[in-house]
Structure 1
C-alpha cells in the first residue's frame, strides 16, 4: 500500500490517501477539510479514488467528506454506526469550532469489526476500537504492516475521552487488546502528529505501555 499524509484544517488532522500501486485505485481517509487541496493531490498522483473511509465522526475528520463524495461520485464508508449521533451533529460542530458550514450526512455503509475492504488489489481489515468515540474504527493493511488509527493512539499519547460518549477504560482496552496484538512491527498513521509503531508505543507510551 502506498500512502501520502495531508494535515488539514487548523486542527492539523491527518487526511491520508491510501492507494494500490498496481492499479492506482485509492481511498481517501478522514478528509476533515480543504477538499480542493485533497482533490488536487489525487490528480497530481494520478489516482482513481474509489471510496472515502472514515475512522470516526468528529468534524475535523469528516468535514469535507460529503463535498468530496458529491464532486467525484464515490461512496462514504464508515465509521461504525455508534457514531451516527456525531454525523447528525455536524452543523452544530461547525458553528462551535469555527469551521465552514457543512450539512449532516450518513455514510453509504456503516462498518463492523472484522470486515474487510478492498483498495484496488490491497485489503484493509476493519477493527472496531471504541473509547475516543463509541463508533471509532481502525483500518489495517496487514501485508504492508500499516494502519490508520484515527484518534485512538498517538506517538506518546492516546485519544481524548472527555467528548460526548468517550470512555477512557474502553479506549485503553481497545489499544491493548485490539491493536497491540496485531504486532509490534505495524506502523501507524495517527489522526494528528507523526507516525509511530505499535511496538514503540507498547514499550514507551506512558498511557498504555506494558
Structure 2
C-alpha cells in the first residue's frame, strides 16, 4: 500500500486540484479546490475515502474559489495558504465578478481555519508533508513536500519547463527564482512535481531543462 493521488483539472483555467490519500487507512486531503466541487467530492466518495482537510497553496481564484461551495456540505478544516495571501482570499468576490465571462461563479471571501508557515508539517495517514513558503507568484504561496512518497505539490511555483507568473500585483520574480533555487532544486532529482496547471514533471528534469532556472 502507498500514498495515492489523482489530479483533477477544475475551473475554466484547468487548475490541478489534487486528491491525495493513504491507501492503508483511506484518509484523504484535497489541494487547491478552485471549483467543480461536486465532481471533486464525487471522486472522494467513489473511493470510500475519509476527507480530512483542504490544503491551499495560494489565494488565486482558480485555486481557492471553490472552497466556500465545498464548505456548504463538508466540515473539514481548510489549511493554508500563508497569511500574506489573506488579501487575495478577501478579494474573491470582486475577482470572481470580473471573471464571470470565463464561467466562474461568484465566490464569497473566506479565511482558512489555519494559516501555514515555513516548517509546518501536515499529514495524510502515515505520510508527512513539509510546508515550504515560496513567495514570488504570490507573497503567501506555499508548497507541500512528502519525502516518503517523493512528491511535491507545487501550485503555481514550478511547472513543466516553466515557472509561475510574477506580473500580478505583489508578484516578485527575483523572490520566486531564489526560493525555487534554495528550497526546491535541492530536493532529490527523482521527486515528482504536481504543478498547478499542466503535466507533471520532476525536480531533475527542471534542473536540466527549465530555461528560467
8 Å CA contact 1:52–1:69 kept in 2: the answer is no
Residue of 79, 90, 93 corresponding to 2:92: 90
Q: Which runs of 4+ in 1 moved over 6 A?
A: none
SS across alignment from 1:71: coil
- Gaps in structure 1 of 5+ consecutive residues: none
**How far apart, in 2, do the equivalents of 1:22 and 1:92 lie?**
42
* 1:22-61 map, 5 Å: 22-61=24-63
**How far apart, in 2, do the equivalents of 1:152 and 1:175 lie?**
8
How far did 1:68 drift?
1.3
The number of equivalent residue pairs is 208
**How far apart, in 1, do the equivalents of 2:90 and 2:207 lie?**
35
Specify the alignment match of 2:114 in structure 1.
Answer: 109
- Gaps in structure 2 of 5+ consecutive residues: none
SS across alignment from 1:95: helix
Specify the alignment match of 2:163 in structure 1.
Answer: 158
TM-score by length of 1: 0.97
1:25-58 deviations in Å (ceiling 9; x for gaps): 1011001000100011111111110000000000
Specify the alignment match of 1:139 in structure 2.
Answer: 144
Tell me how large the CA RMSD over aligned residues is: 0.7
How far did 1:70 drift?
3.3
8 Å CA contact 1:69–1:76 kept in 2: the answer is no
